[in-house]
Structure 1
Amino acid sequence: MNSLRVLIADDHPVFRSGLRALLGAVPGLTVAGEATTGQEAVDRAAALRPDVVLMDLQMPGISGIEATRRILEHAPDAGVLVVTMYEDDHSVFAAMRAGAKGYVLKDADEEDVLDAIRAVGRGEAIFSPAVARRVLAFFAGHTPEAPARAFPELTAREREILDLIAQGLSNPQITARLFLSPKTVRNHISSIFAKLQVADRSQAIVRAREAGLG
């Protein structure tokens, strides 16, 4: 059987070193490369074409969620396994919406991490027990907070405009879609940026897509 090629995307050198040592000692698994930022993960995945990407969520630059989405846009056959400290509903379901095939916590046993890598490499979906309980609860009807309520500080109109921004629409396109004046759209967007504490449109798009908008 061909060795599974794994890309490690994590900004913590000690954790990367631990994963590299773990994978290097296991037959059938090969470290194809490493990335320390979200954008680097996207670029290295495109260049190296790994079978599995181990993705941290909190990455410098673009988040692990957005990096996952961009990786899978260009390499849909890659399996992204989220390896993170976060097990809250928002993180879990944002990762699933982005296309991650697995989700394990950083405190998982080494064998559990290895099993997850192999499962994702086979195209299976796998979650650590704590995360699996959240997923089961979701499908049982106990849904997490709806994406439209992800930003309670925004008005209904502002959420609508943020959703259109996340879809990639320009200001003139939003103006035409909502039958608003250009000035009104600009004012709404300024208000959105201030409330979300983002500096520009790209940061707003990342926040919106992480919450399931767009």
Structure 2
Amino acid sequence: MEERRKEEVNGVISILVVDENEILRRGLVSLLGEYPEFKVVGQASDPEEALSLANQLQPDVVTVEVRMPGIGPGTLISSIQEKSPQAKTLIITSSDAEEDLFAAIRDGALGYVLKEVNLNEIVSAIRTVARGETVISPSIATRLFNELRRGYTDPCAAGESDLSPRELEVLRLVAQGAPNKEIASRLFVTEATVKAHLRRILQKLRAGNRTEAAAIAHARGLIE
């Protein structure tokens, strides 16, 4: 615990790498080891080991391959967060299936990047989710945008999902990883007001949680 406090002071991001493919897992661990700001504290090849290490190590970031045997992507992510509530989950996967993306977002993942991206993009994604912000691979974001645009054309035309300027302000802060208390302070409103805005945002965007709302807003170009 004392070592972890020192790492936090020094700004080191502790990482748990979860992937059943040993070659890819060890390769990522080796590459991340070249960055002084990162410390890979553990690696897991199956869900059971991942949950045990998440509970034991309490990492800042957990990188996860969603296609793990014996467990769905959403279940694995939510289970990791139960074991390590402060950990930010970044999906690094070979799957570009929309059902995997939406399951990951719904259950709390902050990032979703494909293994085909270069190392710099993975490093950037880890830094982003460690700050509590969201990131999605450009190729997936483009396809997601097109799907959402088709799926939300009618509600938008009817004015059912138009966000007010204040709701957009709240959504921008959510996308930056700000908790309700900080949002309330920055907008000079109460936390109850922030929660009310969030309820309306989720309803208008048909999102299951704040992370999914931020992803939808990014995909639709509502926020940068």
Taking only aligned residues, the RMSD between alpha carbons, in angstroms, comes to 1.6
TM-score of the superposed pair, with normalisation by structure 2: 0.60
Q: Find 1:54's aligned residue among 58, 63, 81.
A: 63
1:88 aligns with 2:83: no
SS at match of 1:100: coil
2:36 is matched with 27
Deviation sequence 1:102-125 (CA, Å, 0-9, x none): 000011110000000010111110
| Letter of the 2:55 counterpart | A
1:115 aligns with 2:124: yes
Distance in structure 2 (CA, Å) of the matches to 1:11 and 1:75:
20
2:78 is matched with 69
Distance in structure 1 (CA, Å) of the matches to 2:32 and 2:108:
24
Distance in structure 2 (CA, Å) of the matches to 1:14 and 1:74:
26
| Letter of the 1:2 counterpart | G
Distance in structure 1 (CA, Å) of the matches to 2:65 and 2:95:
10
SS at match of 2:96: coil
Does the 8 Å CA contact 1:39/1:67 hold for their aligned counterparts?
no
Long gaps (5+) in structure 1:
144-214
Displacement, 1:140? 3.1
1:157 is matched with none
Does the 8 Å CA contact 1:7/1:52 hold for their aligned counterparts?
yes
Displacement, 1:141? 4.9
Q: Residue 76 and residue 136 in structure 1: after superposition, are their counterparts in 2 closer, same or farther (change >3 A)?
A: farther
Does the 8 Å CA contact 2:77/2:107 hold for their aligned counterparts?
yes
1:14 aligns with 2:23: yes
TM-score of the superposed pair, with normalisation by structure 1: 0.63
Alignment of 1:36-185 (within 5 A): 36-142=45-151
Does the 8 Å CA contact 1:104/1:128 hold for their aligned counterparts?
yes
Q: Residue 137 and residue 42 in structure 1: after superposition, are their counterparts in 2 closer, same or farther (change >3 A)?
A: farther
Q: Residue 137 and residue 78 in structure 1: after superposition, are their counterparts in 2 closer, same or farther (change >3 A)?
A: farther
Distance in structure 2 (CA, Å) of the matches to 1:104 and 1:83:
5
Does the 8 Å CA contact 1:38/1:63 hold for their aligned counterparts?
no
Displacement, 1:71? 1.3
Does the 8 Å CA contact 1:119/1:125 hold for their aligned counterparts?
yes
Displacement, 1:139? 4.4
Displacement, 1:76? 2.9
Long gaps (5+) in structure 2:
1-9, 153-224
**Number of residue pairs matched by the alignment:** 143
SS at match of 1:59: coil
Displacement, 1:138? 4.8
Deviation sequence 1:136-186 (CA, Å, 0-9, x none): 33543527xxxxxxxxxxxxxxxxxxxxxxxxxxxxxxxxxxxxxxxxxxx
- Higher Cα Rg: structure 1 or 2? 1
SS at match of 2:24: helix
Does the 8 Å CA contact 2:91/2:112 hold for their aligned counterparts?
yes
Displacement, 1:73? 2.6
SS at match of 1:113: helix
| Letter of the 2:64 counterpart | M
| Letter of the 1:46 counterpart | N
Does the 8 Å CA contact 1:38/1:64 hold for their aligned counterparts?
no
Displacement, 1:132? 1.4
Displacement, 1:67? 1.2
